[in-house]
Amino acid sequence: VAALPDDANAWYRIGLAAARLGRAESALTAFDRVEALRPGRGDGLLAAARFEAQRGADEAAAARLTAWLDAADADTPAEARAAAHGLLADIAATRARPAEARAQAALAEEALPGMPFGTFVDARLLHDAGEYAKALA
């Protein structure tokens, strides 16, 4: 990035490497840089939110995703909107908020019809409740 500071792919890889090393500030800075270089695409934002959620910063991840979705417009890729709602559904399931998880899954399916977000969330909730056979079905 010293030679090509506007290379979003390089910043993305730096973010991934920093995340693997547990360097939260560096990872988030790199992912934010990706988002600044590719506004509206969501790849930097989604990577940052996934990283935050993985390290237990659910509130920060949810706030990041919600703010981005609130600012999304018609040019925002459907795949990115669906992924954001899908991650919000996962965060809600982690927080034991089934109604919120299902609502976010429905929004993900609305953004990207044909993807089984609702089925996945229902299976996740059943699994979390210890109903493994029902979750598998």
Beta carbons of 117 and 105 less than 8 angstroms apart: yes
The CA-CA-CA angle for residues 67, 105, 34, to 5°, reads 40
* Tens-place pLDDT, residues 16-52: 999 999 999 999 999 999 999 998 889 999 999 999 9
Q: Which two tokens stand for residue 34?
A: 């990706």
Q: Which two tokens stand for residue 49?
A: 């939110």
* pLDDT at res. 9: 96
* pLDDT at res. 75: 87
* Tens-place pLDDT, residues 57-112: 999 999 999 999 999 888 889 999 999 999 999 999 999 999 999 999 999 999 99
Report the candidate in 115, 112, 114 with the shortest Cα–Cα distance to residue 80. 112
Give the SS3 label for residue 115.
coil
Task: Read off the amino acid at residue 104.
Answer: Q
Does the predicted TM-score (pTM) go above 0.85? yes
User: Cα(66)–Cα(59) distance, rounded to whole angstroms?
Assistant: 10
* pLDDT at res. 74: 84
Task: Read off the amino acid at residue 47.
Answer: A
Neighbouring CB atoms inside 10 A of 133's CB total 7
Place of tokens 């989604």: 46
In the predicted structure, residue 117 carries a pLDDT above the cut 90: yes
Q: How confident is the model at residue 136 (pLDDT cuts 50, 70, 90)?
A: very high
* pLDDT at res. 99: 97
* pLDDT at res. 73: 87
